[in-house]
């Protein structure tokens, strides 16, 4: 990127937002990205640099303010790289995300005849899982606990994060003081809380084991907190091994409730971070896909069974496919405990052939990671799967994959967004397709 002089300032009119939520202005043939600006605003910016005809800028002053602008609630908003849309009213956030997904699908010539109402929940205190960085500075004799700054590796100290639960164990100023007391504070690199429905697990990622004395300091401090759920302290010393619980001696098995079932989870499992929106999302998926009692379904990228178990309650059999062997074992254990007709299979879903030995499905649900599901699209087309329900956390890869199905004759029946991540530009989308007649 070509750097710009810090003295180069411009007044710009913002007319749109990028997919990342940055303001967009145009002048002649140049385009300007303005983080923190909103459509309809006139702003003063300083130029940071240019790549071809696209300029990166920093917002200096808002000359004319949008009626959608609100005061960010988080005192760390200007530095923390986490929540990037706090300056936009919540209804505006949802509208922006809806428009963003619609634009991505239109670019790939994917027509949506019916848009469902967006699934939303509480805009604050919704997040049940996070990962905070920890750094001990010997020079300053100070401990830092927080999130990364925007476009930086530097940690911003966080006192309270308003998108996390209000539990006293999630007071990061308290954690900084506590870690400062430890002899082994320099080996702690991260704190990862997971608020299950029955307990709050706090996982410390460490470069090497903490001493018994340090562990005692931590557990003594946690015991003094008045929490409305059980607190658990876990340590993770090896990135290739699961964490282990060091307190209490007999912790409650962690679970969250989906479709009336207690699904067991481990602290380092992938779990949707918004519990309320996740429950509504699963309910909508069951309604849209409408599995019949005599049908066989596939659940691809099944995880710990967020969709697999509810599907298995409603049909004659589910094949839950996941690439992580630990998750596959968990799926088998959970389905056996719940007496559900589910078979778990470990397969690489990034390439061809991983589904070749599965029986013909009546419908498929897939919930891939951000990279999408390009590796299984041709398999779905070749099998002529009658119904496909695609749940996506990335609008661009969703549109790319749907284009393959639509080109093969599939028709989109309906689509809708789920605001899983309020205050951020991220969006979850659900699309139902049916195979066309040939």
pLDDT tens-place string over residues 98-142: 999 999 999 999 999 999 999 999 999 999 999 999 999 888 889
Q: What pLDDT was estimated at residue 20? A: 92
pLDDT at 385 over 60: yes
CATH class of the 132-257 domain in this structure = mainly beta
| Residue 181 scores a pLDDT above 90 | yes
pLDDT of 140: 84
The domain spans of the chain are 2-69, 92-123+274-434, 132-257
Would you name the residues annotated as active-site residues?
393
Query: One fold for both 2-69 and 92-123+274-434?
Result: no
Q: Please say if the pLDDT value at position 2 is more than 90.
A: no
223 labelled binding-site residue:
no
3-state DSSP of the chain: CEECCCCCEEEEEEEEECCCCCEEEEECCEEEEECCCCCCCEEEEEEEEEECCEEEEEEEEEEECCCCECCCCCCCCCCECCCCCCCECHHHHHHHHHHHHHHHHHHCCCCCCCECCCECCCCCCCECECCEEEEEECCCCEEEEEEEECCCCCEEECCCCCCECCCHHHCHHHHHHHHHCCCCHHHEEEEEEEECCCEEEEEEEECCCCCHHHHHHHHHHHHCCCCCCEEEEEEECCCCCCCEEEECCCCCCCEEEECCEEEECCCCCCCCCEHHHHHHHHHHHHHHHCCCCCCEEEEECCCCCCCHHHHHCCCCEEEEEECCHHHHHHHHHHHHHCCCCEEEEECCCCCCCCCCCCCCCCEEEECCCCCCCHHHHHHHHHHCCCEEEEEECCHHHHHHHHHHHHHCCCEEEEEEEECCCCCCCCCEEEEEEECCCC
pTM of the model: 0.93
Which CATH class for the 2-69 domain?
Answer: mainly beta
At 148-178, the pLDDT tens digits run 877 677 888 999 999 999 999 999 999 999 9
Q: Is 272 annotated as a binding residue?
A: yes
Return the CATH architecture of domain 92-123+274-434.
3-Layer(aba) Sandwich (3.40)
Q: In the chain, what percentage of residues exceed pLDDT 90?
A: 86
Of residues 150 and 43, more confidently modeled: 43
């Amino acid at each position: 990127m070509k750097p710009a002089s810090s003295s180069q300032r411009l007044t710009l009119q913002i007319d749109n937002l990028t997919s990342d939520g940055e303001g967009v202005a145009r002048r002649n043939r140049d385009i300007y990205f303005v983080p923190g600006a909103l459509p309809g605003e006139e702003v003063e910016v300083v130029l940071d640099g240019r790549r071809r005809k696209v300029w990166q800028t920093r917002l200096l002053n808002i000359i004319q303010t949008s009626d959608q602008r609100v005061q960010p609630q988080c005192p760390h908003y200007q530095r923390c790289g986490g929540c990037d849309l706090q300056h936009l009213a919540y209804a505006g956030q949802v509208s922006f995300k809806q428009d963003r997904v619609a634009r991505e699908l239109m670019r790939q010539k994917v027509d949506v005849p019916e848009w469902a109402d967006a699934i939303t929940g509480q805009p604050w205190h919704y997040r049940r899982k996070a990962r905070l960085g920890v750094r001990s500075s010997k020079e300053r004799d100070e401990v830092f606990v927080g999130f990364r700054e925007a476009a930086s590796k530097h940690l911003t100290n966080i006192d309270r994060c308003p998108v996390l639960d209000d539990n006293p164990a999630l007071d990061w100023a308290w954690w900084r003081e506590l870690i400062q007391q430890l002899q082994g504070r320099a080996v702690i690199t991260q704190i990862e809380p997971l608020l299950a429905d029955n307990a709050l697990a706090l996982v410390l990622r460490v470069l090497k084991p903490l001493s018994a004395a340090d562990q005692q300091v931590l557990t003594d401090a946690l015991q003094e907190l008045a929490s409305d759920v059980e607190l658990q302290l876990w340590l993770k010393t090896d990135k290739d091994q699961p964490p282990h619980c060091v307190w209490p001696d007999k912790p409650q098995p962690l679970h969250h409730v989906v479709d009336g079932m207690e699904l067991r989870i481990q602290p380092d499992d992938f779990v949707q971070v918004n519990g309320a929106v996740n429950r509504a999302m699963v309910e909508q998926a069951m309604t849209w896909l409408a599995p019949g009692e005599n049908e066989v379904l596939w659940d691809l990228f099944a995880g710990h069974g967020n969709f697999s178990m509810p599907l298995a309650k409603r049909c004659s059999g589910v094949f839950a496919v996941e690439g992580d062997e630990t998750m596959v074992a968990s799926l088998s254990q959970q389905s056996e405990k719940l007496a559900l007709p589910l078979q778990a299979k470990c397969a690489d879903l990034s390439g061809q052939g991983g589904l070749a030995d599965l029986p013909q499905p009546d419908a498929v649900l897939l919930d891939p990671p951000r990279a999408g599901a390009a590796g299984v699209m041709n398999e779905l087309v070749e099998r002529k799967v009658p119904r496909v329900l695609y749940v996506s956390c990335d609008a661009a890869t969703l549109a790319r994959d749907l284009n393959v199905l639509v080109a093969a004759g599939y028709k989109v029946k309906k689509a809708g967004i789920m605001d899983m991540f309020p205050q951020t530009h991220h969006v979850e989308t659900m699309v139902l397709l049916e195979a066309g007649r040939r």
